Structure 1
Amino acid sequence: MRILHTSDWHIGRTFHGNSTMDALAEVFGALTEQVRENDVDVVVVAGDVFDSATPAAAAYTLLGDALVALHETGARVIVTSGNHDSAARLGFQARLLRDGIDVLTDPRAIGDPVTVHDADGPVRFFGIPYLEPAIVRQHWPEAQLRTQAQTMAYAMGLVREGIDRHEGRSVAIAHCFAAGVDVTAGLEREVRQGGLDVVPLEVFDGPDYVALGHIHGRQQVSERVRYSGAPLHYSFGEQHKPRGSWLVELDADGLASVEWLDLPVPRALVTLTGTLDEILSVENVAAHAEDWVCAIYTDAVAQAEPMRRLREQYPFCAMVQHQPSVSADVDERSYSERLRMAVTDTDRIEAFLQHVRAGQGASERESELIREILDDRARTEALV
């Protein structure tokens, strides 16, 4: 059996105020072709289908189009809810979908698998929706569920009970932060990195494969426990991370192989650093005029209307930051210390400029102007 593992679609999320709907539609088209070309039997979507608990109508339309297209390849589609989704809204759609598209959002049904058969027999798919301990503990009053680790451990216990009740191979689908994840891989916005929300790896013992969602970069936590990441870049911090999905193959004995399938990036992301003039150089513009651009300009002084100037050359400049470069001989004293040591007005102005310019004092021309102004003031005061 061939399984395509994807997650974190975040339909409806914007990129620095720009819609991502058209880009996602393009990526979903490529994903559908991968399913068709690789004879995929089951597509697994491990949570965060939507970016909001109250998605706009266009998000529902895009989701419906994507699920129907995947189903028309002949593949079974199994979807679980994530922390961004409204399980109730996503679950309501399940009743309206055709046979072969399963939306699993009910925590009380975790131990009841969706069964798909191949030549080697049944494969049981156990869907674990995102579990907020304070919300789901009402379903299991016998358990002590204060943390995500405790809650996922209990849910995986239900999965193992389900595995024991049913013959065949098994796949678990969940949305959480597993121990061992590389924290540079694109963590979800609301993931707390403290110990309370970390789920130990041994919690996932049992199934032949565990398809996880919740972080936006691909991760292999173990040979059979993986994150696929998001299919689209949603921040400049993710720009160097590949986008794609895992193609998982099960044979009669369980997990046989896992292969990464790259997805296209509709518009590349790039971070350009240097003075504003360097960022606007002919070479940079020629290379990145069609990219999403984050511009970090290092001029000592904040420039006038940098975003307007950048967008004249980079229509897709989404972000601009001023980070003055720090001189090697920066005065390490605090601003208050420099003021106490200042003797003249010139010293005080220089201390202020260094303070607001991250260590950069007055330029030669500025020093001349400061002297002229102070001299004029002195002459005026002498005449009074």
Structure 2
Amino acid sequence: MSKVIKTGICSFGMSGQVFHAPFIYVNPGFEFTAVVERSKDLARQRYPNVKVYTSVADMLADKELELIVVNTPNYTHFEYVKAALEAGKNVIVEKPFTVTTAEAAALIALAKEKKLLLSVYHNRRYDSDFKIVRKVLNEGLLGDVLEAEIHYDRFKEELSYKKHKEVANPGTGSLYDLGSHLIDQGLQLFGFPKAVWADIRIIRKDSVVDDYFELVLYYDSLRVRLKCSYLIREALPSYQIHGRIGSFIKTKSDIQEAQLLRGLLPNSPDWGAEAPHEWGLLHTSIDGKTVKQYLPGTNGNYMDYYQGIYEAIANNAPNPVDPKDAENVIRIIEAAFQSSQEGRVINL
């Protein structure tokens, strides 16, 4: 790689420390050049050569930087992505892309006008569990899919230590936070639906933001149910896909986040490899014979996203996550809130 993309990260909380800096640091196509930390000095302890700024505006004025990662609270995404694009920088923005589809459309138009890359970090496309589900569907092992259910459940009554996530601001709550993952996966597997129904609730004692939702995406002959609850002690399998000739059942088993939290780097041996007890169960018919077996997953690897970003900037390759995909996620979220409030199916 001859080109090195100098990159700045807008904050160094969990997202910066776990999901972005390690991949930028390990990939030779990038340089982790700058970061915003207003009071702490954690980034420089781990990455001694990084420049530390105390504001996003100061970092955006750094002419060296070619790529900015916007990983600040959801309600700030529009403001900071807009500022970064206007400063002539390519941008990766954390999910959810924006709070509204109007904001998303405005940013897509601005990036196009400036001829800059704008990409959304829908990293769960690169989880080992999602990759094997997509492989099973692409190979037609279930026949015509009639029903699918995808879960992202937790068991946590207490509020998050990340205070901004527990304030009733635009863009907070489980549907924006975790629902954006589930919706993106649903759209990647099955396309954009014809309609959506939703039930969105608050179930924790002291919560003021939604922490439970159920969405149903309506297709011609398929229904896709997306579910999340913060009070599920014994979780169901995260993927339950049923087709005309078979079923595939899969746990949520990607280990990358756990590896990153332990301080491992994404060039470590066995990166993203699932344990055999997490393999998905395929029960179907192949060549007229009943097959019931566990399928090993391919390794998860968020580096595939970052390598895609490098190729897009350096070699004009396709954007690994088109921002129009991420805008569609926000469209579904807005329709889901309308459905839950009005108690009806919303046509899309």
User: If the length of structure 2 is used for normalisation, what is the TM-score?
Assistant: 0.30
Higher alpha-carbon Rg: 1
Larger RCO (alpha carbons 8 Å, 6+ apart): 2
User: If the length of structure 1 is used for normalisation, what is the TM-score?
Assistant: 0.28
